[in-house]
Amino acid sequence: MKTPKNSEVVMTELVLPNDTNMLGNLLGGRLMHWIDIAAALAAMKHAGRICVTASVDEINFNEPIRLGDVVKIYASVNRAFKTSVEVGVKTVRVTIEGDEVPSNKAYLTFVALDNDRRPIAVPPLTLETEEEKRRYDEAGFRREQRLRNREQLHALREQRQMQS
């Protein structure tokens, strides 16, 4: 039985000068790198296999993170599908007093791979709390949106090819 709690990962990073832009804020690309690592670790904990990034659905930058700040990155599996999992990531800036100020959220999809680097089934996810059920349902909604968008883009491309 695998629960979201079993996949939890917490990474802590210190923002150094090489991590910042000219305004002294954490580079978005650096944060995305850290988010991808934390999410990959959570996916691998759940799947018990190597997992690779398939997509990043959303990443929101809500609160600047500055030079010298401590960043905590929380990641865990929201939902398991056939060979993939959605991982939710929350990033917080930790103040000198120890308060955690939410700064970013992201949703990433990972695919588990077998020894031949082909997709392999992942264990189902057992939900225990209302929060886990909410996150599970929202992950399903995001997946439906992703698939619908893919179909619509495919139809648009076919339509354009027929016109040319």
Provide the residue ranges of all domains of the chain, joining segments of one domain with +. 4-163
Q: DSSP letter string over 91-145?
A: EEEEPTTS-EEEEEEEEEEEEEE-TTS-B-----B---SHHHHHHHHHHHHHHHH
At residue 48, what is the residue type?
Answer: G
CA 36 to chain centre: 7
Q: In this structure, are residues 10 and 67 in contact, taking their beta carbons and an 8 Å threshold?
A: no
In whole angstroms, what is the distance from residue 46 CA to residue 50 CA? 10
pLDDT, tens digit only, all 164 positions of the chain: 899 999 999 999 999 999 999 999 999 999 999 999 999 999 999 999 999 999 998 788 898 999 999 999 999 999 999 999 999 999 999 988 889 999 999 999 999 999 999 999 999 999 999 999 999 999 999 999 999 998 999 889 988 888 87
Counting every residue written for the chain, the total comes to 164
- pLDDT of 163 reads 87
- pLDDT of 58 reads 78
Written as six digits, the tokens of 119 are 């997709």
Give the angle 84-44-53 at the CA atoms, nearest 5°: 55
In whole angstroms, what is the distance from residue 64 CA to residue 93 CA? 8
> Buried b vs exposed e over 1-37: b needs ≥16 C-beta within 10 Å?
ebbbeebebebebebeeebbeeeebbeeebbbebbbe
Give this prediction's pTM: 0.91
- pLDDT of 84 reads 97
Which of 3.40.50.2300, 3.10.129.10, 2.40.30.10, 3.40.50.300 is the CATH number of 4-163?
Answer: 3.10.129.10
